[in-house]
Amino acid sequence: MTITRVGIVGTGTMGIGVAHTVAQFGFPAVLVKATPGTVDKARAVLNKNLDRAASKGAIKPEDLDAVRGRIELTDTVDALADCDLVIESVIEDIAIKQDLFRKLCEIVAPNAILATNTSTLSVTALMSVCHPRDRIAGLHFFNPVPLMNLVEVIHAFETADTVVTALAEFCRKIGKEPVVVQDTTGFIVNRLLTPYILNAIRLLEQGTGTIGDIDKAMRLGASHPMGPFALADYIGLDVVNAMAQNIYDDVRQQYTSTPHTLTRLVLLGYLGRKTGKGFYDYSQQPAIPNPALKRPVA
């Protein structure tokens, strides 16, 4: 099972990052905008990212035009017909993803691999709407895709072993390290990482430590590159909230339930770095802990 041409559906941060990476390592890529509107914004973001990679030496300047030329940006899924692998990277909504997979099954060849970049949703639930089912798998990249080395390859209920092998080999060809994971909500990383962030929020709510001190403790005491609050803001608090809800729906354990502080921030639209405020306030540099979350001093 050989992968020579890759399709990506979704022109958000992850979809653009996957297309960037695939093209950088020599694969032709078809990047499809899944929502209404022109592809101009996506093209601008993609070009900016490629230019930045070249300025930092990740792409040789003389190779930049070739990398850019390997990416076809379009707004029609029909352009995916001749792809050997199609990676879905749209909104984390199971109904929307299932509708997309139904369409993809009608467009691509029967032996083409269909993979989802979901972070917590059931790959088997997507497999259930497809025929044949054995070519459906998960391919979970991490943000920012060009820099993060890990990809979780998810073996769903009826995924063929040959598909998993082909995906793992593909990951290595694009400079990534694959780990094979059974289809469990949150897989490995988010199944461990989400409760870690939620427990940090509970420590804050209990007054055990401040945002800054909890983050510092995990940076200096556990050698984490960033603390749980900075990480949550980087991921996006809406994403963390969704991951928590998906995992809680699966395991129904209190430690996976959403803390009140996270719920409040999401309701108010404070989603972290992308909105300028979350657990930290990014309107100042360096960012400061969100003043609204400081506990009163006795």
For 2-56, how does the pLDDT look when each residue is reduced to its tens digit (9 = 90+)? 899 999 999 999 999 999 999 999 999 999 999 999 999 999 999 999 999 999 9
How many Å apart are CA 238 and CA 245, to the nearest integer? 11
Q: Is residue 274 scored above 80 in pLDDT? A: yes
Domains of the chain: 6-182 (3.40.50.720), 190-288 (1.10.1040.10)
Q: What pTM does this model have?
A: 0.92
pLDDT averaged over the chain?
95
DSSP 65-116: HHHHHTEEEES-GGGGTT-SEEEE---S-HHHHHHHHHHHHHHS-TTSEEEE
Find the mean pLDDT for residues 146-167: 97
Active site residues: 119, 140, 152, 190
Q: Is residue 295 scored above 70 in pLDDT? A: no
Phi first, then psi, for residue 96 (nearest 5°) are: -65, -40
Convert the pLDDT of each residue in 245-272 to its tens digit. 999 999 999 999 999 999 999 999 999 9
How many Å apart are CA 173 and CA 168, to the nearest integer? 9
Query: Predicted confidence band at 1 (pLDDT cuts at 50, 70, 90)?
Result: confident
Count the alpha carbons within 13 Å of 258 in the hemisphere toward its beta carbon: 20
Query: Predicted confidence band at 298 (pLDDT cuts at 50, 70, 90)?
Result: very low
8 A C-beta contact, residue 258 and residue 244: yes
Convert the pLDDT of each residue in 199-217 to its tens digit. 999 999 999 999 999 999 9
- CA distances from residue 52 to 55, 68, 120 in whole angstroms, order as listed: 5, 13, 30
Residue 294 is predicted with a pLDDT of 72
Task: Name, in order, each residue with C-beta under 8 angstroms of 106's C-beta and a sequence gap of 6 or more.
Answer: none
